[in-house]
Structure 1
Amino acid sequence: MSVPPMPRRTAYAVLAALAAVVVLISTAIFVGVGNSDGSLDAAARKSGGSAAPASAGTWVGTWSTSAAAAEPNTLRGYAGMSIRNVVHTSVGGSQARIQLSNLYSARPLTITHASLALAAAPSNPTAAAGTMRRLTFGERSWVTIPPGQAATSDPVRLDIPEAADLLVTTYTPRASGSVTYHPHARQTSYLARGDRTEDTAGAAYTEQSPYWRYLTAVDVWSTEAHGAVAVIGDSITDGITSTAGANHRWTDFLAERLRTEPDAPRYSVLNSGISGNRVLTDGTQVPPNNPSALSRFERDVLSRTGVKAVVVELGVNDILRPPHQTDADAIVGGLRRLTEQAHARGLRVVGATLAPFYGHRGYTPRLEAVRQQVNTRIRSGEVFDAVVDFDQALRDPVSPLRLRPAYDSGDHLHPSDDGYRAMARALDLDDLKGGAAAEL
């Protein structure tokens, strides 16, 4: 039996309906529930990077931290609470996006409400007038992050100054498993009962916290910065003895130099320090708490947005923490592998000598000999493209055999603010310029 021809108007309607179905399916595939690799650069590729044309600027990380562990006693997460993280920018921009991590939970994390704002005052939970922005993920107001993964928000337009405090707030309505956190923030953040995500006033945020939770990075669209320097390190880079809330880690002082000194590369600074971190050995948790530099280098350094140079400050804890690593070749080999991975991305690597630990309760002449061996190899130029000598920077400039007054000679050997400033001054900013050196 023959079928009569379809009227032209009806045929056009059918074709339009089919086209709409294709668009809907494509959009569903595109949006998903977060980026499988968690990288902010991946989000830029998926979203086109920005509403602004490429010639107007570039995406660059302005702040980051490393997911260090699962927060103790948080198997239910923070159900029914708003978490307002306070973080400090290194460079400014006209748009921003964030990264949230669920690395240490065995359960999916659902964020139903998230926001970004400028703080009205340093370390304050109140938002500056007119700066509150709701965040979306794939154009949705919510995101579910699978266990062990991360997600990146869509960009929002907001004029963000350099050296400013941001408020990044998330709300989770139900139990989500262990909370991924960074314990040594040296910054006060806040919690409130209920969904207070877009509260501009800080009155509901009555609980203070010394941690960063879930948040691991903030990017900005910048017309000033040309890239970022990512610093991977231990407690000295984490800045655990710097004045809380003052942004006096050595990386903060480095960011200040890069913003203000003539002829300095216009880079942001991304801090990937974890207290107690080692080059070779993970922590004991599953997945590993305090993951080794080798196991986290891709996630915490190489995948950060706009990285042009890397600084490595690691090795002391491999020697001091049990089981003590007394083979200098093993530590140097691990540091060289970090350099090789960075070189594969065309990145320049500046390595720090291992800081002195005479006076630490774990000090022994045998362990000191290992430190000296590693430092000799670092200074020789066989490990990194350039060297910053923190061993010397933390010694008294008048009597170099003694430690600086700004360097604690007690059990934990960490700088005061003045010591961190001396470390930042010790870095030759020209060493951050250019790409990877020739084969070492």
Structure 2
Amino acid sequence: MNKRQGYVNLAALMTAVALICGGIYLGVGTVKKRPEVRTPPVSAPAWIGTWAASPVAAAPVTHAPGAPSGREGRSVRNVVHTSIGGTAARVTFSNLYGTEPLLITGASLAVRDSGSPAAVTDSLRRLTFGGVHETTVAPGGRIVSDPVELRIPYDSDLLISVHTPAPGGPVTSHPQARQTSYIADGDHVQEEAGDAYTEQTLSWYHVTAVDVLTSEARGAIVTIGDSITDGVSATADTNSRWPDILADRLGGRYGVLNQGISGNRLLEYGRGPSTLERFDRDVLDRSGVRTVIVAIGINDVLRAPHAPTADNVTAGLREIADRAHARGLRVIGSTLMPCGGLYRCTPAVEAERLKINAAVRSGGIFDAVVDFDRALRDPYAPGRLKPVYDSGDHLHPSDAGYARMGGAVDLAAL
């Protein structure tokens, strides 16, 4: 449900001031402070991303309950959260890690009824692909659905349901979703009711992006990084990752697309391909992208004694900035947060981290910098996270830490 239900106009209470100053208008949110950006002028409708998740791995073929590819006739109802709204939507489905063709015999999109696997009445739309209801996605491929007309609210949940009639090999997924989705036996993708979806999962399956048609949003901001951007320590089902906090501050003016992968590295394959390798797919190919925030590198230096040097990481960050600039994007880079207390965070790792942060702060790589290090470090022990911002493992932030990160981004820099 939308967190911001309207704004109260106080101009009538300011009549005396208005007579002197020529008119002053103050907008005050009834639920939240008005987002810190100005409303853009109305423009021609455009396709802009409202949600995205990087394909990470193949869910293994298994006959265990809850495995989408493990038994014939499974339906998955993915729950995803919007950052902007629109008047129509289209969905991207992926078979990137599949080894066999992925047969989809039914898919749908709906606005979620609060806190359940059920859809808001009359919001469910059947998805088609080139005008037909069935499609096959080749191994390693992806497909975008035809657009459907539907009023998509921002800061709300959508249900993306997919039915696969038979096991088709490993399923492309995004684990660590920090969001409960649902699974049912049989084909239930066209049902508004959620009664059949009795099993739960904390992964997203098949789906990697949702775009909306809008004339109100100004574009999309992509956040690319590792588990800290993915939000693996955030409380599930609360949309508490730092990109979620940033989206709240922007109030539907920009889409915010989270392309974090837990365990990801900038330079080499870690969990999923390196950030350099997946940059085109996860940033440059996203709809309506205007700005990218790069928060990556700590997993590279934590590989000591076989880790790349600070110079190697800095060169990789510069390559990302150059590639984004070549496409006309604005690039914001982040400093690496402290990891003191983590057993792998040795003095050698700390020295490389500080060198990377000095290079990022120098202004020679990015258009702007968000200093997550200064925002979250303990002022009495700068090599560690401040306790209130530490999830307990000395590397990943708590919900309070994620809130601090999302609040540290200078909106004017976007």
Matching residue within 66, 81, 91 for 2:54: 66
Asked if structure 1 preserves the Cα contact closer than 8 Å seen for 2:339 and 2:385, the reply is: no
Q: 1:349 to 1:55 in 2, by over 3 A?
A: closer
Asked if structure 2 preserves the Cα contact closer than 8 Å seen for 1:407 and 1:413, the reply is: no
* Amino acid across the alignment from 1:127: A
Correspondence 1:337-416 to 2 at 5 A: 337-396=319-378, 403-408=385-390, 410-411=392-393, 413-416=395-398
Matching residue within 146, 149, 156 for 2:141: 149
Cα distance in 1, alignment partners of residues 228 and 183 from structure 2: 28
* Amino acid across the alignment from 2:56: A
Cα distance in 2, alignment partners of residues 400 and 328 from structure 1: 19
Correspondence 1:18-417 to 2 at 5 A: 56-74=44-62, 77-78=69-70, 79-122=72-115, 124-259=116-251, 266-283=253-270, 290-321=272-303, 324-396=306-378, 403-408=385-390, 410-411=392-393, 413-417=395-399
SS in structure 1 of the partner of residue 357 of structure 2: helix
* TM-superposed deviation, 1:72: 3.1
Cα distance in 1, alignment partners of residues 107 and 370 from structure 2: 40
* TM-superposed deviation, 1:406: 2.7
Q: 1:412 to 1:277 in 2, by over 3 A?
A: farther
Residue by residue over 1:358-417, the C-alpha shift from the partner in whole angstroms, topping out at 9 and shown as x without a partner, is 011211101110111111111111221111001011124687676323322743521111
Q: CA RMSD in A?
A: 1.8
Residue by residue over 1:168-202, the C-alpha shift from the partner in whole angstroms, topping out at 9 and shown as x without a partner, is 00001122111100001000000000001111111
Alignment: residue pair count: 368
Asked if structure 1 preserves the Cα contact closer than 8 Å seen for 2:339 and 2:383, the reply is: no
Asked if structure 2 preserves the Cα contact closer than 8 Å seen for 1:361 and 1:411, the reply is: no
Asked if structure 1 preserves the Cα contact closer than 8 Å seen for 2:233 and 2:391, the reply is: no
Cα distance in 1, alignment partners of residues 74 and 158 from structure 2: 19
Cα distance in 2, alignment partners of residues 417 and 232 from structure 1: 19
Cα distance in 1, alignment partners of residues 330 and 306 from structure 2: 30
SS in structure 2 of the partner of residue 278 of structure 1: coil
Asked if structure 2 preserves the Cα contact closer than 8 Å seen for 1:358 and 1:409, the reply is: no
2:408 matched residue in structure 1: 426
SS in structure 2 of the partner of residue 420 of structure 1: helix
SS in structure 1 of the partner of residue 387 of structure 2: coil
Q: 1:307 to 1:118 in 2, by over 3 A?
A: same
Residue by residue over 1:113-156, the C-alpha shift from the partner in whole angstroms, topping out at 9 and shown as x without a partner, is 0000011113x200110101000011110111111111000000
Asked if structure 2 preserves the Cα contact closer than 8 Å seen for 1:125 and 1:167, the reply is: yes
Higher-helix-fraction structure = 1
Higher-strand-fraction structure = 2
Cα distance in 2, alignment partners of residues 412 and 280 from structure 1: 23
Q: 1:402 to 1:77 in 2, by over 3 A?
A: closer
Asked if structure 2 preserves the Cα contact closer than 8 Å seen for 1:74 and 1:177, the reply is: no
2:34 matched residue in structure 1: none
* Amino acid across the alignment from 2:110: A
Give ranges in structure 1 of 5+ residues lacking alignment: 1-53, 261-265, 284-288, 433-440
Cα distance in 1, alignment partners of residues 333 and 396 from structure 2: 19
Asked if structure 2 preserves the Cα contact closer than 8 Å seen for 1:95 and 1:158, the reply is: yes
Q: 1:72 to 1:399 in 2, by over 3 A?
A: same
Return 80-89 or 317-326, whichever deviates more: 317-326
* TM-superposed deviation, 1:342: 0.5
Sequence identity (%): 55
Q: Highest Rg: 1 or 2?
A: 1
* Amino acid across the alignment from 1:180: T
TM-score, normalization: structure 1? 0.81
* Amino acid across the alignment from 1:156: V
* TM-superposed deviation, 1:106: 1.4
